[in-house]
Amino acid sequence: MTVELIDSMGGDHSIARAARVSSGTTGTPEKDRGLINMLMRDRHGSPFEAVTFQFRIECPIFVAREFFRHRIASYNEVSGRYAVMEPVFYTPSSSRPLKQIGKPGAYRFEGGTGTQERVTSAAHRDAARFAWSAYQDQLAHGIAREVARNVLPLSLYTSFCVTLNLRSLLNLLSLRWAHPDSTVPTFPLAEIEDVAVQMNRFAEAVAPDAMAAFDKNGRVAP
């Protein structure tokens, strides 16, 4: 998974400034940190909307579809109707847990055996090769791109831009990263957790006080 921060607007100072409008006060950087922590602790969320991010994300289609369930952002995705897709496919690494133990709502994942890893890798690669060959064959026969793409699997990589404010990002991070500081359990897909971890790092660079308060208060979105 690849995450790139294309643009951002605002930072910790923007959060404190938005919050202080209600009281007409000003503060020092130290007081602003205290204010931000209080806002996070007491879940006064709107001031965090003063910080905005735009990311470019490259990931398999099955990860993008999970990401798009967060209806708190603006999305623009590469279109297989207008562009010929690139032959980039996802194959699980050896560190990716393969076995689901338990039942939905009460399960965990464990690493696979050597045989399971080989079977999984071979299946993904064989399916990708077959699908790509079928896609290219259709294009060579003049079939429209929007029709030819139908044979491509969920493991194909897509790319999209997502624009969202910090409050929305914190909501996403609270659900998509099983962080050790999280006080509310979450069970994210391993691949989307990879995306969330990278986004978290960029957010820490843009609004370090807000992200520190997020961690300190159990990573519960305000």
* 67 and 41 within one domain: yes
Last residue of a domain, one of 132, 151, 170: 151
The answer to whether position 23 is within a domain reads yes
Residue 102 binned pLDDT confidence (cut-offs 50, 70, 90): confident
Instruction: Determine the Cα–Cα distance for residues 77 and 75; give it in Å rounded to an integer.
Output: 6
Closest among 97, 118, 119, 117 to 108, alpha carbons compared = 97
The answer to whether position 93 is within a domain reads no
pLDDT digit string (tens) for 152-203?
999 999 999 999 999 999 999 999 999 999 999 898 999 999 999 999 999 9
Last residue of a domain, one of 109, 134, 151: 151
| Residues annotated as part of the active site | 176
* 71 and 6 within one domain: yes
Strand order in the sheet with 74-77: 2-9, 52-60, 157-165, 74-77
Residue 26 pLDDT greater than 90, yes or no: no
- Max CA separation in the chain (angstroms): 68
- Mean pLDDT, rounded, for 26-54: 95
* 185 and 168 within one domain: yes
* 173 and 138 within one domain: no
Residue 27 binned pLDDT confidence (cut-offs 50, 70, 90): confident
* 146 and 178 within one domain: no
* 161 and 69 within one domain: yes
Q: Calculate the alpha carbon distances from 91 to 71, 137, 165, 186 in Å.
A: 28, 23, 32, 24
CB atoms within 10 A of CB 114: 8
The answer to whether position 110 is within a domain reads yes
Instruction: Determine the Cα–Cα distance for residues 46 and 25; give it in Å rounded to an integer.
Output: 17
The answer to whether position 109 is within a domain reads yes
How many independent structural domains does the chain possess? 2
CATH number for the domain including 20?
3.30.1360.170
Domain that includes residue 26, residue range: 2-77+156-216
Residue 28 binned pLDDT confidence (cut-offs 50, 70, 90): confident
- Tell me the pLDDT of the chain averaged across its residues: 95
* 165 and 133 within one domain: no
pLDDT digit string (tens) for 53-87?
999 999 999 999 999 999 899 999 999 999 999 99
